[in-house]
Amino acid sequence: MYSYAPLIIVFPLIGFLVLGLFGSRMKNKKLIGVIGSGTVGLSFFLALALFIQMLGIEPGQRKQSVELFTWLSTFTGSSNSLTVNVAYQIDQLSILMTLIVTGVGFLIHIYSIGYMHNDTGFWRFFAYMNLFIFAMLNLVLADNFLLMFLGWEGVGLCSYLLIGFWYEKKFTGDAAKKAFIVNRVGDFGFILGMLLIFSTFGSLNFSTVFNSASLLSVGNTTALWITMLLFIGAMGKSAQIPLYVWLPDAMAGPTPVSALIHAATMVTAGVYMVARCSILFALAPVTMEFIAIVGAVTAVFAATIGLVQNDIKKILAYSTISQLGYMFLAMGVAAFSAGIFHLMTHAFFKALLFLGSGAVIHAMHDEQDIQKMGGLKKYLPVTYKTFLIGAIAIAGIPPFAGFFSKDEILWRAFSSEQGSPVLWLLGVFGAAMTAFYMFRLVTLTFEGEKRFDPHRVHPHEAPKTMTMPLIILAILSIVGGFVGIPHASVIENWLEPVFSPAQYKLLSGEHTGGLMEYLLMFVSVAIAVSGTYAARWIYLQRAELAVSLARRYPRIYRTLLNKYYVDEIYDAVVVAPTVKISNDILWKAIDVTMIDGSVNGSAKIINGIGKILRKIQTGIAQSYAVVFIGGILFVITWLLLR
């Protein structure tokens, strides 16, 4: 079965090629939808079959690499030569990520059939989506850094294509360019990290690098620089401070794109990369501490912005940034399994919430302002119930999926040798705000009085192609957390062979806690429930209280509403000076003055010489005779004087 693993990647590629080459000629949208969704579905079922086979194999024997061909082989001029194969590594981590990418991606593709049905770029949308899945699968299944980077850049390209899908609108094009450029900043760090890895270990193959790294001591300086550079790449791709600014603007694309980027693919790439390189990061405690701090601060920072936003998709976007912060908090305290566990549960409930928001936008005729909604549960019963399940899950209320994964992260943030009570407090504070803003969103959207014009807007439930994925994701958001029950965690046991070398380096592999663990669990749940109750009480019974608070603290409210003016600061500090330098120095001074000046100057010189020489060609025979005679006299004189 392992030999068939490359087909998992090939199927979406075939879908992209078929739709990309022939999609514009296909008149049957149902056929386009079947091809686009079916190829991803085939990848999911093949991955599922491979997963089932792996269950019957001893944990130590589950890892295998399937090599297709040599991609790059070159002699570097030293004792090292660079050889990179197109090869895919199947192990517990990569197969779990593959199931998440293809499973959730398959449901999003099915949903898209209904959501994008009336769009003129229907075939182009599915072609891009298939390419997105293909790139992400290369990223998670690669057995070397260079092939991973191919997928890494591939998802960046696809995000640009999909965020700017409606290219005729200026703001979508601007958002796509913003995502592309910000990610290039992070990718520069990733490239430098790869170069340093090759110069240190003489290879880019995971097995070779990690086996060599396992011989190094904790605190190694080279490992510190490698991991810092790799994490810069992760900060860009997974939207951490300060490279998070692209992700809220990514909402400009179609809602299924938002679900795919935020739930199953692109933003999880950085988390996966850190997990895959856990042995390298275990050698650099300073980097680990930095990751934990960045993750915790990002979780709280994004949550505060989400408290006051009114665009239904923007709220979910800042929620994604916050939840990614929790995943990096887990990575920073060496709770690698907990971070991947939260990545999985987050894929379920965040895909559910984004697709649910798409159903609301579809019903409200493209309206996204929750202040102009209200009372929609009467018109969208399935969407309401599934959205509510997603909100409960992300709030971390038991027994829904988000509770188990978030609680595991909070406990490890408190108890791990790399953790601290401060990190736990930040995590709990973020959890309280998460519960509040999510139930503010639910209440203002689905409950209370109608705030829309019923004569202009006629809300209606989405078609089955859109509601069935919601129901499946809702079920997963309920039961998906039970694989991570403390002290009997199936997912931790499954991933243990992958992370055990890193845990051995950090000496933090035990899961103990007893009474303290349950006490902290109770506190975090109580805070989440309090946040939920506070949101419902304010926005159902005391709506004027929210208005009065905004008026009482206008500066705080405006600061949060304007997202701490980070975009404006970037524009003033980075964008405007860059544009000015480009215009005044690069364009006017160098391009216009030097380059154009040299070209135009040489043209003027030639033109001046031409004007002088042109006087010889007068067309008067007598003038030519004078020139001839003068020439003859010159030659005779020269010969006589020689």
Same domain, 622 and 524: no
Residue 580: other Cβ atoms inside 10 A: 10
pLDDT for residue 509: 47
Mean pLDDT of 273-291: 95
Residue 121: other Cβ atoms inside 10 A: 16
Give the residue ranges of DSSP H helices in 23-144.
29-55, 92-115, 122-141
Q: How far is CA 459 from CA 383, 410, 468, in A?
A: 12, 40, 19
Q: Quick one: what percent of the chain has pLDDT higher than 70?
A: 96
Mean pLDDT of 216-240: 94
Mean pLDDT of 196-201: 94
Q: How far apart are CA 491 and CA 489, in angstroms?
A: 5
Domain boundary among 507, 536, 560: 560
Q: Is the pLDDT of residue 80 over 70?
A: no
Q: How far apart are CA 60 and CA 265, in angstroms?
A: 28
Mean pLDDT of 293-320: 96
- Cis check: omega of the bond before 242, within 30 degrees of 0: yes
Per-residue confidence band for 328, with pLDDT thresholds at 50, 70 and 90: very high
Same domain, 627 and 548: no
Q: How far is CA 528 from CA 42, 448, 531, in A?
A: 39, 22, 5
Same domain, 585 and 548: no
pTM: 0.90
Q: Which two tokens stand for residue 624?
A: 């030519």
Per-residue confidence band for 504, with pLDDT thresholds at 50, 70 and 90: low
Q: How far apart are CA 141 and CA 139, in angstroms?
A: 6
The C-alpha torsion from 263 through 265 and 269 to 271, rounded to 10°, is: 20
Q: How far apart are the first and last CA of the chain?
A: 95
Point out the least confidently predicted range of 11-25, 249-263, 591-605.
591-605
The verdict on residue 216 lying in a domain is: yes
Same domain, 514 and 587: no
CB 102 within 8 A of CB 43: yes
Task: Report helix, strand or coil for 73.
Answer: strand
Q: Is the pLDDT of residue 510 over 80?
A: no
pLDDT for residue 501: 79
Domain boundary among 499, 527, 560: 560
Same domain, 595 and 465: no
Mean pLDDT of 584-613: 79
Q: Is the pLDDT of residue 405 over 80?
A: yes
Same domain, 238 and 384: yes
pLDDT for residue 370: 94
Q: Which domain holds residue 207?
A: 127-560
CB 322 within 8 A of CB 298: yes
Residue 281: other Cβ atoms inside 10 A: 29
Mean pLDDT of 125-141: 96
Q: Is the pLDDT of residue 525 over 50?
A: yes
pLDDT digit string (tens) for 351-396? 999 999 999 999 998 899 999 999 999 999 999 999 999 999 999 9
Task: Report helix, strand or coil for 75.
Answer: strand
Q: Is the pLDDT of residue 320 over 60?
A: yes
Q: Is the pLDDT of residue 452 over 90?
A: no
pLDDT for residue 265: 81
Residue bearing tokens 């499973």:
103
Q: Minimal CA–CA distance to 477: which of 318, 356, 596, 561?
A: 356
Point out the least confidently predicted range of 470-479, 500-509, 610-619.
500-509
Same domain, 547 and 581: no
Same domain, 485 and 601: no
* Count of domains for the chain: 2
**Within a 13 Å sphere around the CA of 40, how many CA atoms are in the beta-carbon half?**
34
Point out the least confidently predicted range of 142-146, 441-445, 543-547, 635-639.
635-639
Q: Is 78 left (phi over 0), alpha (psi -120 to 50) or beta?
A: beta
pLDDT for residue 640: 81
Pairing of strands 64-75, 81-90: antiparallel
Domain boundary among 534, 560, 586: 560
pLDDT for residue 475: 97
Single-letter code of the amino acid located at 21 = L
Q: Is the pLDDT of residue 168 over 60?
A: yes
Q: Minimal CA–CA distance to 278: which of 345, 325, 222, 227?
A: 227
> Of all residues in the chain, what percent are helix, strand and coil, respectively (each to 5)?
75, 5, 20
Q: Which two tokens stand for residue 313?
A: 């998709």
Q: Which two tokens stand for residue 281?
A: 């990061």
The verdict on residue 118 lying in a domain is: no
The verdict on residue 448 lying in a domain is: yes
Same domain, 475 and 541: yes
The verdict on residue 113 lying in a domain is: no
Single-letter code of the amino acid located at 123 = W
The verdict on residue 455 lying in a domain is: yes
Same domain, 552 and 602: no
- What is the DSSP secondary-structure string of 596-618? IHHHHHHHHHHHHHHHHHHTT--
* Dihedral sign from CA coordinates of 448, 452, 455, 461: negative
The verdict on residue 255 lying in a domain is: yes
Q: How far apart are CA 380 and CA 4, in angstroms?
A: 43
Same domain, 240 and 135: yes
Q: How far apart are CA 15 and CA 129, in angstroms?
A: 9
CB 113 within 8 A of CB 37: yes
Single-letter code of the amino acid located at 213 = A
The verdict on residue 80 lying in a domain is: no
Point out the least confidently predicted range of 272-281, 597-606, 617-626.
617-626
Same domain, 326 and 190: yes
The verdict on residue 133 lying in a domain is: yes
